[in-house]
Amino acid sequence: MHLQERSEWNHSQFFLSFLYCMIRKLVDYHFSFYEIHQSMNISKLLIANRGEIAVRIIRTARRMGIHTVAIYSEADSDSLHVTAADEAFCIGHSALAETYLNIEKVISIALETGCVAVHPGYGFLAENPAFVASCHKAGLIFVGPDTRAMQIMGNKIEARKFVDSIGVPVTKGLTGNTEFILKHVDEVGFPVLVKAAAGGGGKGMRIVNAHKELKEALEATSREAANYFADGTVYIEKFVENPRHIEIQLLGDSKGNVIHLFERECSIQRRYQKIIEEAPSPTLTPEVRRKMGEAAVAIGKAIYYGSAGTIEFLVDRNLDFYFLEMNTRIQVEHPVTEMTTGIDIVEEQLRIASGEELRYSQNDIKQTGHAIECRIYAEDPENNFMPSPGRMNLYHEPEGKFVRVDSGITGKPVIQSFFDPMISKLIVWGPDRESARKEMIETLKNYVVHGIKNNISYLLAILNHNVFVQNNLSTKYCDEHSEYLMKTMLQVRVGIDPKIPVLSALMSSVGVGNKKEANTWSNIGYWRTHMAPKFLIGNSRFDLHLIEYNSHYAMVNWDGEHILVKYHIHPDGWMELQVNDNHYHLWISSSEQGKSSITFEGQSIEVTRLDILPQQQEFSASEISVNADMGNIVSPMPGKVIKIAVEEGQPVVKGDLLLVVEAMKMENNIMSPGDGIVDSIGVSLGDLVDGSTRLIHLSAVGEK
């Protein structure tokens, strides 16, 4: 065959082969599409959860053409998941036992609304075998694993035994009642980690370094476990010094196929709650990554796992890893895996629950770039991270091509004290870790939460810390660097030129040019009464004099310096401020007359105008009381009394435990402010209290 003929033949053969492949792909696609829709028998889905995870599930379900039903407590009536779903039904007032944890009510609503399946999200009933059994009994598909896998892995004690039996490394542990553990703890050796056997999410976990601390830790963990998981069983395990917390995301189907979607690093934790997660882990070598993935898949296959789940490991300084636990559900931090693999884990859960085989093999899964997730919490880092429920005055979520915000709120929402203090999850992606870190910093600076305390400045301090940049981390990072992080937060805020927040507050308070109701009389009234406005930031006072003012600019005398101020306030709270020749962008809102909240470069600054009398405001975190009055012991925030440690007539000394109030999934110990006698106890176990409720009245020693 001549060269030209061979070339023509090759071109013809290539064309025919290409045409055959295209036809084949179209045929395969047609039958694949047909089979998917034949097997996709979830037409209507009830989401047995609330908040951001409920909204997250609804969005994927809607994209798949699945009708969604939400449930909500009265406290959640204005939440985003209620309006995001196709249908929504109130399930009760606010108590978890009567609402989101009430299996009978959840099943009843699912059946009454014609749902085919139930997705539990995470937390609440997500890992409750009794709920799974109830779903199956009612003829409902449970979007999650079967009860066998859940029972094996849902109890940490049994999970450790099972994993040890298949050759995956575990740390040494001990279980039993309090007396047994106290007697045999030396077999494990201190330090130990006390954990709830049926728990998850770090609830109840405590590090104990000495025998004298163990009994109280066991009792407290048992109490929290009974409260959150209806099972007070606890166990202890040897605490690995300076560990990394790294987890592997699994997907398994009903055909026995199990794959992993690589790992997430979750070492940045505070009180055993993850606050920053990233994928891939910057710690693992390719070899260790491969071994951990294989170990996780081996566990999944051994229990015939059929859904999305996560195998969590502790990794020591030598990169030796130990099984920690398995979460038989989707996890809070799943978005970083989705951002780096391109796989919608909720969609895969729904397909698996419909009986479909996994659409991917292990070789199909690739990691691209780097993703970081920050959890935005309603808490006060400068007040021992006290939860900060209340109404927001301004809420703005940042946007961007590689930015994702998973939240369950909208407008000016109220963060309730009944639930976890997480406001949302902020996720960013970059081509590498450093790019993702810088993107997260810039994105956090445009995340605005006014009216309640939040942890955004704390997250910024971590991300800017050289220890984080160089990845010299462990799960003890937040404890070890607490002083540095607090100092950094203060330095950054104090380093902001006070002219920026003060002048923005001034322009906002007199900015009639931005208000439609402005008129000549309001201008005249201002000039008659407010020529010398006074402002307060913390303990610093600033006295200003207005030389000239109109709706577009102001001339201000600041300590003898004449400053030209121009500004424009957008309807959403975004302010463009010009101070002489310097231009600034910030966010501003008012909680009440004379008080402004400003966000600049990610820092929240409260400015009070002293020459305007404040009006009564709704409850917010600023109203939290401090127990300085012996005769008026109150709760630091709204919550539930879960322990009363004293009796009437009992003498106490300063620092003695009086009560324990649970709020936003955290126990708050109410201590005696001084030496005295318990005159009266004004509450009972289980009572709901707020900052105005007198809990205990003490009389000082010698008063009687």
What is the predicted pLDDT for the residue at 122?
95
Among 143, 163, 182, where does a domain finish?
143
CATH number at residue 453: 3.30.470.20
Q: What is the pLDDT of residue 162?
A: 95
pLDDT at 624: 34
> Quick one: pLDDT at residue 229?
67
Contact predicate 622/646, CB 8 Å: no
- Looking only at Cα atoms, what is the longest distance across the chain? 119
Average pLDDT, the chain: 85
Q: Are residues 30 and 67 in the same domain?
A: no
pLDDT band at 271 (very low <50, low <70, confident <90, very high): confident
Q: What torsion do the CA atoms of 348, 352, 354, 360 make, to the nearest 10 degrees?
A: 70
Do 382 and 338 reside in the same domain of the chain?
yes
Residue 524 — very low, low, confident or very high, per pLDDT cuts 50/70/90? Answer: very low
Distance CA 1, CA 240 (A): 72
Same domain, 368 and 486: yes
Q: Is the pLDDT of residue 621 over 80?
A: no
622 or 464: which leads in pLDDT: 464
303 and 431 share one domain? yes
Range of the domain at 378: 244-494
Query: pLDDT tens digits, residue range 649-702?
Result: 888 887 788 888 876 556 778 888 888 888 888 888 877 776 667 788 888 765
Residues 6+ apart with CB under 8 A from 256: 301, 304
Q: How many domains does the chain have?
A: 6
Q: What pLDDT is stored for residue 676 in this prediction?
A: 83
Residue 208 belongs to a domain with what CATH number? Answer: 3.30.1490.20
| pLDDT higher than 60, residue 557 | yes
Do 358 and 212 share a structural domain?
Answer: no
- 481 & 554 share domain: no
Tens of pLDDT, residues 200-223: 656 677 889 888 889 888 888 888
Residue 575 and residue 687 in one domain: no
Contact between 61 and 70 under an 8 Å Cβ cutoff? The reply is no
Instruction: State residue 549's pLDDT score.
Output: 81
Q: To 5 degrees, how large is the angle CA 9–CA 12–CA 16?
A: 135
Yes or no: say if 679 and 653 are a contact pair by the CB < 8 Å rule.
no
User: Known catalytic residue: 244?
Assistant: no
pLDDT of residue 512: 43
Q: What is the pLDDT of residue 645?
A: 87
Rounded mean pLDDT of 16-26?
Answer: 36
**Of 101, 127, 143, which residue sits at a domain end?**
143
Same domain, yes or no, for 327 and 469?
Answer: yes
pLDDT in tens, 442-483: 999 999 999 999 999 999 999 999 999 999 999 999 999 999
Q: Is 396 found in the same domain as 275?
A: yes
Q: Which residue among 160, 270, 329, 404 is the active-site one?
A: 329
Between 133-147, 362-376, 649-663, the lowest mean confidence (pLDDT) is in: 649-663
At 37 the pLDDT is 36
**Is position 267 within any domain?**
yes
Domain assignment present for residue 518? The answer is: yes
